[in-house]
Chain A
């Protein structure tokens, strides 16, 4: 990191270059479709233009709206309907600029693990072994796995509820997540919380999510700030949905990272549905990546069902973070292919929409790319890989099922970090502080209220 220090110092704390000019040029890839976003204004010299690179190989063109339908008895029902072109062919996977064959296969394996783990969770739920619901990342495996794959060991991340694949990439075991869902004594939170709500600040650098959306964004920015004070420019990756990005703390967090020039890599997972509310009712701009313009940071659009596009955007954003270049907003377009949680049949989603995105299943597309297009996996190897993943998940399932439930008394204790419970020390290095010559003097300045 030595060569990057000087740059980050110049950019730190208020001395960063202003806005888009630096940001938009540096990360423009020649092969991206660049859609200028125009501000209103008549005279051409007063018209500013900004660029949002769009790496997708297709641009889905449909919208969801509410419509009143009459049933046979003439009673009104408000439904969602989709309008637009839903018959377009499935695009190919975009070749990665950075990934080699081995890495692609590794990401593919994580995506398989992600999906098979969720299938196992669904079965555990049906067997009555899960406490509460199950949340799925079906259709979003490429986004979870290929994004986290771009991080270095020293980087940090924080998943949201559907990023169970990210955990696998960052070396958590499937049994960790399974035990969380089953509220077992050996779960990472020892039964105290469920789902992907756990963390590890020692080895795997993961911050636990909470159920409230957007709060992780300033927290991850703070992690990057802490690391920078210790002399390191790290990348901090987290996720937010098209629903969650409506929260005020999302704005506060991204803006904080922007003014402080911190290495936030924010995936905005546009999966079209926030519980039962379509994205049309969350925001009005065309694409959420446009929000990046308002923050003065780079924003890009990728196809969230294309692992190569997700990885490339994440890789470039992580590189920018490591070189002190500040935050990046990556909008990944895809669809949540199940309900909000297992109880929700998602009957509000228009059927044609589900069918459109089913054809864009991230695993089927990647499998086709690796086996048929690239021929990096022969069919037999692919079968063997799937069988291996299934056996891993089965073994993990066994571990999780066999873990005991926590004792009632284990609800107590641990509210505070007591003496000897944790040693607090800088994660990377003791900050190398310089001190000015100012000595302590009593203050006599005027104050706000007397």
Chain B
């Protein structure tokens, strides 16, 4: 059936709650209201207020309670109304949840999920991509799907995983993309990238909404005879090192593209992996396209300037091809 990105996530959680009585949801306004983006719309009527819990506006309490419940063998799915607010729970995630298995051997099968990302004029506190805060935290799995198929398969995989997973949903994609999603049960493995477009000339390594930016650029460039390969990481922690190395070995030139700020961003880490795994295969400099080193501004012309665009990818690809 044809599903939007949002509907795919919604259906994934719904099916898991239907299948497994230990799965439950908690978060702000997720019950009768159905969540700010309606991911849990109708859940309370189906699964009841015991399993679809409206919480106080208290992110540390939401994460703490999810973690505590997970220690009793439950599989909580906690919603952040916007992922920007995950910072309010940072200590609970970084020092409590992420370290627990390594330090004292307790598994914490919980999912923290919510909308992230720009391009919707949400301003500095409703547009961020805070995934890197958690990539630097061993013990967490960080998932950033780009398509409805992956979003459904990965949210199910996250719920079934025995580890804390942070699931970043790109709010620009929620209702803008639609694709055929199988009716039968499936999961997409965490930690495995996919080739979103095969190409010969150069590789773009990216994820989430930027996959679509890269694909659009690839269409423009193909008319000029430049054949782009697009690698969609799907999971940003743990990274699929093999897939990163393989695409570089194939095309020998690579652009790293992400929405969040350049400094300390994922591109730096991927560049280091390429350096370790495929240095001899490079025929040109590793190119980074990223958000500016500032907060994300509110006004549409400013936001547009801050965020990576199709024309940035086209320009950099032409430059790198000619190198």
- Interfacial residues, chain A to chain B (CB-CB below 8 A): 12-14, 188-189, 192-193, 197-199, 201, 207-208, 210-212, 215-227, 229-230, 236, 248-249, 251-253, 255-256, 259-260, 414-417, 421-422, 424-428, 430-443, 445, 447-450
Q: Is B21 a contact partner of A256 (Cβ separation < 8 A)?
A: no
Is B91 interfacial (CB-CB < 8 Å)? yes
Distance between Cα atoms of A212 and B138 in the complex (Å): 18
Distance between Cα atoms of A444 and B289 in the complex (Å): 35
Name A12's closest neighbour in chain B (CB-CB): B50
Q: Is A229 a contact partner of B120 (Cβ separation < 8 A)?
A: no
Instruction: Identify which of B64, B67, B102 gathers the most chain A CB atoms within 10 Å of its CB.
Output: B64
Q: Is B69 a contact partner of A210 (Cβ separation < 8 A)?
A: no
With A259-B56, A435-B46 as given contacts, are A450 and B175 in contact (CB-CB < 8 Å)? Answer: yes
With A12-B50, A188-B104, A226-B74 as given contacts, are A218 and B64 in contact (CB-CB < 8 Å)? Answer: yes
Residues of A within 8 A of B130 (CB): none
With A189-B103, A221-B64, A421-B107 as given contacts, are A443 and B10 in contact (CB-CB < 8 Å)? Answer: yes
With A218-B61, A249-B91, A441-B42 as given contacts, are A448 and B37 in contact (CB-CB < 8 Å)? Answer: yes
Name A422's closest neighbour in chain B (CB-CB): B107
Name B238's closest neighbour in chain A (CB-CB): A416
Q: Is B104 a contact partner of A449 (Cβ separation < 8 A)?
A: no
Having A215-B92, A249-B92, A431-B22, one finds 8 other A-B pairs with CB under 8 Å, namely A208-B100, A208-B104, A210-B96, A215-B96, A222-B65, A227-B72, A260-B65, A437-B45
Is B24 interfacial (CB-CB < 8 Å)? yes
Q: Is A219 a contact partner of B96 (Cβ separation < 8 A)?
A: yes
Q: Could you tell me the dominant secondary structure of chain A's interface residues?
A: loop
Chain B proximity of A315: nearest CB distance (Å): 23
Residues of B within 8 A of A415 (CB): 101-102, 138-139
Total number of A-B contacts with CB less than 8 angstroms? 220
Chain B proximity of A211: nearest CB distance (Å): 8
Distance between Cα atoms of A1 and B105 in the complex (Å): 30
Residues of A within 8 A of B99 (CB): 210
**Which of A13, A221, A439 is the one whose CB lies under 8 Å from B68?**
A221
Q: Is B104 a contact partner of A253 (Cβ separation < 8 A)?
A: no
Name B51's closest neighbour in chain A (CB-CB): A433
Distance between Cα atoms of A248 and B59 in the complex (Å): 11
Distance between Cα atoms of A92 and B141 in the complex (Å): 56
Residues of B within 8 A of A13 (CB): 49-50, 53
Q: Please list 12 pairs of residues, one from A and one from B, whose beta carbons are closer than 8 Å in the complex, sorted by A's number.
A: A192-B104, A218-B61, A219-B71, A220-B68, A225-B65, A249-B92, A252-B58, A256-B56, A421-B107, A428-B72, A438-B42, A447-B37
Total B residues in contact with A, Cβ cutoff 8 Å: 70
Is B192 interfacial (CB-CB < 8 Å)? no
Residues of B within 8 A of A443 (CB): 6-7, 10, 34, 38, 41-42
With A212-B91, A438-B42 as given contacts, are A222 and B69 in contact (CB-CB < 8 Å)? Answer: yes
Residues of B within 8 A of A12 (CB): 50
Distance between Cα atoms of A255 and B65 in the complex (Å): 12
Name B91's closest neighbour in chain A (CB-CB): A212
Residues of A within 8 A of B74 (CB): 226, 229-230, 426, 431
Instruction: Identify which of A198, A219, A424, A439 gathers the most chain B CB atoms within 10 Å of its CB.
Output: A219
Is B262 interfacial (CB-CB < 8 Å)? no
Distance between Cα atoms of A416 and B71 in the complex (Å): 15
Residues of A within 8 A of B95 (CB): 210-212, 215
Q: Is B67 a contact partner of A222 (Cβ separation < 8 A)?
A: yes
- Interfacial residues, chain B to chain A (CB-CB below 8 A): 6-7, 10-11, 14, 18, 21-22, 24, 34, 36-38, 41-42, 45-51, 53-56, 58, 60-76, 91-92, 95-96, 99-107, 109, 120-122, 126, 138-139, 141, 162-163, 171, 174-175
Instruction: Identify which of B10, B50, B126 gathers the most chain A CB atoms within 10 Å of its CB.
Output: B50
Chain B proximity of A416: nearest CB distance (Å): 5
Chain A proximity of B76: nearest CB distance (Å): 8
Chain B proximity of A148: nearest CB distance (Å): 18
Chain B proximity of A212: nearest CB distance (Å): 5
With A229-B51, A427-B72 as given contacts, are A449 and B92 in contact (CB-CB < 8 Å)? Answer: no
Name B100's closest neighbour in chain A (CB-CB): A208
Distance between Cα atoms of A433 and B23 in the complex (Å): 10
Q: Is B162 a contact partner of A424 (Cβ separation < 8 A)?
A: yes
A-B pairs, 9 with minimum CB distance: A222-B68, A218-B64, A226-B72, A222-B65, A226-B69, A252-B61, A438-B45, A252-B58, A417-B107
Name B57's closest neighbour in chain A (CB-CB): A252
Q: Is B100 a contact partner of A424 (Cβ separation < 8 A)?
A: no
Distance between Cα atoms of A440 and B152 in the complex (Å): 15
Residues of B within 8 A of A218 (CB): 58, 60-65, 68, 92
Distance between Cα atoms of A107 and B7 in the complex (Å): 57
Chain B proximity of A200: nearest CB distance (Å): 8
Q: Is B48 a contact partner of A434 (Cβ separation < 8 A)?
A: yes
Q: Is A226 a contact partner of B71 (Cβ separation < 8 A)?
A: yes
Q: Is B24 a contact partner of A229 (Cβ separation < 8 A)?
A: yes
Q: Is B71 a contact partner of A417 (Cβ separation < 8 A)?
A: no
Name B53's closest neighbour in chain A (CB-CB): A13
Q: Is A447 a contact partner of B69 (Cβ separation < 8 A)?
A: no
Distance between Cα atoms of A127 and B23 in the complex (Å): 51
Residues of A within 8 A of B96 (CB): 210, 212, 215, 219
Residues of A within 8 A of B162 (CB): 416-417, 421-422, 424
Q: Is A414 a contact partner of B11 (Cβ separation < 8 A)?
A: no
**Which of A188, A223, A252, A433 is the one whose CB lies under 8 Å from B47?**
A433
**Which of A224, A248, A428, A440 is the one whose CB lies under 8 Å from B60?**
A248
Distance between Cα atoms of A431 and B171 in the complex (Å): 33
Distance between Cα atoms of A425 and B73 in the complex (Å): 5
Q: Is A416 a contact partner of B70 (Cβ separation < 8 A)?
A: no
With A426-B22, A449-B122 as given contacts, are A436 and B69 in contact (CB-CB < 8 Å)? Answer: no
**Which of A207, A210, A224, A226 is the one whose CB lies under 8 Å from B73?**
A226
Q: Is B103 a contact partner of A208 (Cβ separation < 8 A)?
A: yes
Distance between Cα atoms of A198 and B99 in the complex (Å): 12
Residues of B within 8 A of A447 (CB): 36-38, 174-175
Q: Is B104 a contact partner of A193 (Cβ separation < 8 A)?
A: yes
Name B81's closest neighbour in chain A (CB-CB): A448
Chain A proximity of B75: nearest CB distance (Å): 7
